[in-house]
Structure 1
Amino acid sequence: MACCDIFEVFDEKNNLIKEYEHWKLLVRNRNTTLGNCVAITKRHMENFSDITSEEMKEFAHVVKDVERALKQSFSYDKINYLMLMMKDKHAHFHVIPRYAAPRKFAGTQWTDDEWPKSSHLVKAEVPQEVLRQIKKEIIKNL
């Protein structure tokens, strides 16, 4: 039985990049910047302090994997991690690649409008075909 709807919110069915033992990495369906992802704990927890040492240790591997793949895929300038859990009360991190200059990918011009300030998470949904291409590029570089 599902713990909550977090995996539906981020459309795991279409957006899953990689499944780990304790985490799932998905391309975010509302990309604020090119390659925006979300790392979600498989086990439901509403307080990050409930994380186990095994989950935390594996998260370090998730971070290394996603940073390497995003750097090779889109050559980001900085990367931000954001955990809010205000709306979706399940431990997850937004992985937000940041860009000082625009990037072109999948026929789309991607501009980090907030650079160098904090990125906003609200942005229009990206067409599934574009998300599929982003996901494919990230997987290629994992």
Structure 2
Amino acid sequence: MPNATAVKFGYPNTLVAETAEWLILLRPQQPTLGSLVLVHRSEATAFSELPAAAFADLKVAITGIETLLRARVDYARINYLMLMMVDPHVHFHVIPRYEIPRVHHGQTFADAGWPGQPALASHVALSEEEAHAFAAELAALWRVS
């Protein structure tokens, strides 16, 4: 059963990939094109509560994320933000960063915070249908070696 944080970010409709310990979800509010949420499967609300297996599997998840986003978004930098103030379960917001805006299905996705901190309040809000379609597109590209 997914935790409430995963559900809030649209699980299962926004599921891009999963590993033994982690869910990789499309972030419905896209501050930059390809923004994701990496959610631990457990009910843990502190990073230190995760089992050792979660840390080993984090390598698998991050390798997959960076391979996917490099191919799809061609980011210049990538930010992993652990912001567990509203959504308490262990998760990271994964924000690909770039200077030149990206276009996806006619929508422009600028990185309003470049080159500073991500501007999370400046985002493209995807509809449920758009988020589901984009998650499926990314899922089809997911590769982990």
TM-score surpassing 0.5?
yes
Distance 2:53 2:7 in 1: 25
Within 5 A, what are the aligned runs for 1:67-82?
67-82=66-81
Aligned to 2:131: 131
Tell me how far apart the structure 2 counterparts of residues 113 and 121 of structure 1 sit (CA, whole Å).
9
- % same residue: 31
After TM superposition, the structure 1 = structure 2 runs for residues 79-118 of structure 1, keeping only pairs within 5 Å, are 79-118=78-117
Question: Which 5+ residue runs of structure 2 have no aligned equivalent?
Answer: none
Q: Deviations over 1:46-105 (max 9, x none)?
A: 110112211100011100000100110111111000002111110000000011101111
How far apart, CA to CA, are the structure 2 residues paired with 1:8 and 1:137? 20
**Separation in structure 2 between the aligned mates of residue 75 and residue 130 of structure 1, nearest angstrom:** 21
Please give the secondary structure, in 1, of the residue aligned with 2:85: coil
Q: TM-score, structure 1 length as denominator?
A: 0.91
Number of residues paired by the alignment?
A: 141
Q: Which consecutive residues of structure 1, in runs of 5 or more, have no partner in the other structure?
A: none
1:124 shift after superposition: 5.1
The secondary structure found in structure 1 opposite 2:20 is: coil
Taking the aligned partners of 1:52 and 1:58, their CA distance within structure 2 comes to 10
> Aligned to 2:129, what secondary structure does the other structure show?
helix
Runs of 4+ displaced beyond 3 Å: none
Matches within 5 A, 1:52-67: 52-67=51-66
Task: Give yes or no for contact 2:27–2:35 (8 Å, CA) kept in 1.
Answer: yes
| Contact 2:36/2:93, CA 8 A, preserved across alignment | yes
Q: Which amino acid aligns with 2:51?
A: T
C-alpha RMSD of the superposition = 1.6
Contact kept in structure 2, 1:40 and 1:91, CA below 8 Å: yes
